[in-house]
Amino acid sequence: MGNLRSVQKAFERIGVEADICQNPSELSNASRVVLPGVGGFRDAIQALRGHGFVNAIEDFIATKKPFLGICLGLQLLFDVSYEDGQWEGLGIFPGQVVRFDEHAELKIPHIGWNTLHTKTDCPLFSQIPQDSFFYFVHSYYAIPKDNKLTSGVCDYGCDFTASVTKGNIFATQFHPEKSQRWGLQLLKNFATMGGTP
């Protein structure tokens, strides 16, 4: 949904080969999987279901190999989104995706650079300074039922979950592929989890 090539190019910049999967069966041979996304939740989840990727994603996550969701890819991991209706997500994590409250001083969508405060010793943020800037583009954000899932928070009228981590599953609400130095470091950290990419 939208930014597959930009994510692929970001991996190329750090010297990592990344293929865009056209068929769900390709995931079974992958050493790591990234689920990026730009656009609406409904269209994205329908596309994943329509092309048979839901079971393939679940099967890949069960292998315990590293998995990374980006932006909409984070939101899709949760039970339900209330973006233009109510839509069932992948249900990997319990929780919901909601819209930012209207705020007189803040525009929606949240677009641009903002600081990320990491809450845990997450390997995704290795060698990245606390409160580094990352690039966001979104009107909705996830509220996990389990606060322990949240590995990073950002302030935009409220503190919201900007990244989640559990086991081999990582996801960011921001776009590392658009976040210059620290975004590329994050992708490098992900690409080298478990050994050489």
Using alpha carbons, list the distances in angstroms from residue 87 to 36, 80, 134, 171. 18, 6, 28, 19
> Which residue is it, tokens 């800037």?
133
Spell out the domains of the chain, with CATH numbers in brackets: 4-191 (3.40.50.880)
Q: What's the pLDDT at 77?
A: 98
Q: pLDDT digit string (tens) for 136-160?
A: 999 999 999 999 999 999 999 999 9
Q: pLDDT tens-digit profile of 163-186?
A: 999 999 999 999 999 999 999 999
Active site residues: 71, 175, 177
Instruction: Yes or no: say if 156 and 110 are a contact pair by the CB < 8 Å rule.
Output: yes
